[in-house]
Amino acid sequence: MTFRALLTDKDKHGKVSSRVAELDERDLPDGNVLLAIDWTGFNYKDGLALTGRGGIVRSYPHIGGVDFAGRVIESTDGRYHPGQAVILTGWRVGEWHWGGFATRARVNADWLVPMPKGMSTRDAMVIGTAGLTAMLAINRLKSEGIRAAGSTNGPVLVTGAGGGVGSIATLLLARLGYEVHVVTGREEVHDDLKALGANMVLGRDALEASEKGLLKPRWRGAIDNVGGAPLASLLKQIEPGGCVAAVGLAAGANWDASVVPFILRGITLAGIDSVMQPFDARMAAWDRLTTLFSSTVYERMVTEAALADLPALSEDILAGRVRGRVIVKPS
């Protein structure tokens, strides 16, 4: 049996390129579950993989795609049966193991979660890694005492709000009753972010660099998708006892760190890793997303693309030009 995939390869000069190809199912990597992929998501990390940046891909030829949803064709694992709908995010799939930019995948059953009741495979990929990560970040803020209701709770900031994680975090926080402020570098997404529930839309200058050790506290908590220099400024503007959930690095991996906000305001910087989350935490997050996420409200942020579009979209996502979520039906 053959299947269709976006195959990424590296030539002898080190140039990485991708093309749509027909492959044999026997070429798929080892695994105990064979899947037909309905929808796959397109993420920042996929942009890195398809352009050969960030050391994401271990070996070539490669099939990218860090999240996908589909149906089981064959399984030798008792937890999954033919026809069952499942989701895969993380576990280095699309990085070290062939991923979702294909009509078929063979994976380890431990990496899957069953589709939550009432969720379609399309909705699962509209949410995707981005939504799962946003949910995990919100759960972490809550566990640090950043709650929606109550007079002691100030607004929560979301950075990189026009992207996948940021836009879903905006929607989820708003639906949970938080006062949500967002930072975006793009005027054209202001109305979208307000429609998702943002109470205040700020430009990137809200997080411009400052020599000062502390700035006026503005936010009780934050979900930071950009890292880099803006994170340094963000940490200086968190209220005493507040928390920043560090999710991404769209503006860079490094920043000029100072202990001052930590020792004078007792703030917390909490790392969020969606990739290696254990099954129970994933399942709990997906179940919560079933009721909390609104596909109707979020649809304005969804773009459907084809496998062949992804190389060009990779440059766009790395340059911060992709709005919300891009999903692909690989067939």
Q: Which residues bind ligand NDP (CB under 6 A)?
A: 43-45, 129-130, 133, 160-166, 184-186, 189, 204, 225-226, 230, 247-251, 272-275, 317, 320, 322
Three-class secondary structure of residue 240 per DSSP: strand
Which residue's CB is nearer to ligand NDP, number 71 or number 186?
A: 186
By beta carbon distance, the residue nearest ligand NDP is: 163
Closest approach, Cβ 133 to ligand NDP, in A, equals 4
Q: What is the DSSP letter of 252?
A: B
Q: Which is nearer to ligand NDP, 28 or 272 (CB)?
A: 272
Kindly state the tokens that stand for 210: 């400052």
Q: Which residues contact 189 (CB under 8 A, 6 or more apart)?
A: 161, 162, 167, 323
* 30, two tokens: 């080892």
**For ligand NDP, which is the closer residue by CB, 36 or 207?**
207
Q: How far is the CB of 186 from ligand NDP (least distance, A)?
A: 4
Q: In whole angstroms, how close is the CB of 127 to ligand NDP at the nearest point?
A: 12
Least distance to ligand NDP, CB of residue 272, Å: 5
CA 224-90-285 angle, 5° bins: 65
Residue whose CB is less far from ligand NDP, 172 or 272:
272
Q: Output the smallest distance, CB 227 to ligand NDP, in A.
A: 7
Nearer to ligand NDP, 72 or 141 (CB): 141
Q: Which is nearer to ligand NDP, 112 or 251 (CB)?
A: 251
Among residues 86, 122, 99, the alpha carbon closest in space to that of 49 is found at 99
What is each CA distance from 307 to 50, 57, 328, in whole angstroms?
12, 18, 7
| DSSP assignments along 180-232, one per residue | EEEE-S-GGGHHHHHHHT-SEEE-GGGG---SSS-----EEEEEES-BHHHHH
Minimum CB separation of residue 80 from ligand NDP in Å reads: 24
